[in-house]
Structure 1
Amino acid sequence: MKWIYININELTDNQYESFTKFVSKERRQRLKRYKYIDDAKRSLLAALLVRAELVQQLQCTNDELLFAKNDYGKPICLNQEDAHFNVAHSGDYVVAAFSKKPIGIDIEKHKEINVLNFHSVLNEWEYQEICRSNHPIATFYKFWTAKESYTKALGIGLTYPVKDIRVLSNGAVEKSHLLTPWHISQYFSETYTASICMKDKYENKKGKGISIQNLKAFLEGNE
């Protein structure tokens, strides 16, 4: 397992257009629909992180990468069956996780929220943990990103009954009080929480930051 990240401010507004050449025509059309440049940057950089990593893993060129989507809209790589990946973004950061087995990742920037608005997706234990916490917002995002990463690893999105999911202290995932083969690792800062879900238990690995210069070099085949 490997996960990488980039700050969207690495990509200046002036550089933005030149980096769109590295993605598909379909993606370029979608990028034009964004009203705000930061939203477009998040979408573009999510695609570029995946491409930059896969060209290294698969020893191919960016133009040779082929992608499709599953029935729920999750992107998949057609070049190699076990080249699994997932992306997420929030605030200033875009993250991408890679594995030879299905994987899901989520990141959220902490915002002031009314936890009551999320009662339908939190089970009673989680809700009580949030209420008891000295840092209820951070505790909420700990649970929320875990649920997101799990459903993304399954490749089905939040159509899943996430209220039935509970993450144990060792990272194991329970569904309706039954253990599943999935495990979650989490990463915290003062303002962000990230969760990664995959089937095998693994040691927490620190994410690797990618600069915009290295991203360009990988995509151009110069690294």
Structure 2
Amino acid sequence: MTFITYTTLDQPLSIDVFNHHLIKLSLPEQEKILRYLRWQDAHASLAGKILLLEAFKQAGFPDISLKEMYRDDYGKPCLANTPAFNISHSGKHVVCAVSNEDVPGVDIEEVRPIGFEDFSSYFTTLEWNAINHSSDPLEAFYQHWCAKEAFIKRDGRGLSNDLRTIEVTNNLVKMDNQISYVRYFDIFPGYKMALATEKDMDVQLIPLRLNSSELH
């Protein structure tokens, strides 16, 4: 089972909620959040950690502390002896995936008008043909991009991977001998979201209101 918690930040977290959850983090993570210049970045980063704790609870691990969170060599947040997790945010939305039987990779992207033709070098010939022959090439571009990002985040090595070596075909993503299953979600209008896992599995979607006292 994979648990996906998600939220929308239409406005900043209240001061009480922000401070209440900030002190649950390790000192380096607190400092990282407080260094952001835009409230949107700081609050999205903290929101991801709040979603993470709630997803742990849903997965049956209510007592996990984030005080020991650290970053690996690729900058990915990690915790020892916990279910695998991944966090993503774009625009005003934040999502978190926790799995008690797999390593998930999740990505969300706001669909914005761009000249995606400039990104052809990041896709295989098969992918590029599928995008350009789609009924909505811009939507197809973002769906492929989300799938690649979700796969990369599941792999854990970040953008050190060459995107051209990763190929998306419908619900599968392949790189060398690695294959991941991809599921797409249309939770937020105007956004694309993808989850990459080793195999197809049940997913529970859990919306949260972060200014709610229920999360204290």
TM-score, normalising length: structure 1: 0.83
Contact 1:4–1:210, Cα closer than 8 Å, also in 2 = yes
Aligned residues: 211
Listed as ranges, the matches of 1:1-223 within 5 Å are 1-9=2-10, 11-12=12-13, 14-15=15-16, 17-19=18-20, 20-55=22-57, 57-60=60-63, 62=65, 66-80=68-82, 83-100=83-100, 101-169=102-170, 171-175=171-175, 180-188=178-186, 189-203=188-202, 205=203, 207-213=205-211, 217-218=214-215, 220=216
How far apart are residue 159 of structure 1 and its match? 1.2
Runs (5+) with no aligned partner, structure 2: none
How far apart are residue 127 of structure 1 and its match? 1.7
TM-score, normalising length: structure 2: 0.86
Contact 1:68–1:78, Cα closer than 8 Å, also in 2 = no
Give 1:183's aligned amino acid: Y
How far apart are residue 209 of structure 1 and its match? 0.5
Contact 2:183–2:196, Cα closer than 8 Å, also in 1 = yes
Give 2:29's aligned amino acid: R
After superposing the two structures, state which structure 1 stretch, 5-14 or 182-191, moved more: 5-14
Q: Distance in 2 between matches of 1:72 and 1:195?
A: 21
RMSD (CA atoms): 2.3
How far apart are residue 99 of structure 1 and its match? 0.7
Q: Distance in 1 between matches of 2:124 and 2:136?
A: 18
Give 1:201's aligned amino acid: D
Q: Distance in 1 between matches of 2:62 and 2:133?
A: 50
Q: Percent identity?
A: 24
Taking a change above 3 Å as real, the CA distance of residues 181 and 134 of structure 1, as seen in their structure-2 partners, is closer
How far apart are residue 126 of structure 1 and its match? 1.8
Q: Distance in 2 between matches of 1:181 and 1:125?
A: 17
Taking a change above 3 Å as real, the CA distance of residues 30 and 95 of structure 1, as seen in their structure-2 partners, is same
Give 1:37's aligned amino acid: W
Runs (5+) with no aligned partner, structure 1: none
Give 1:27's aligned amino acid: E
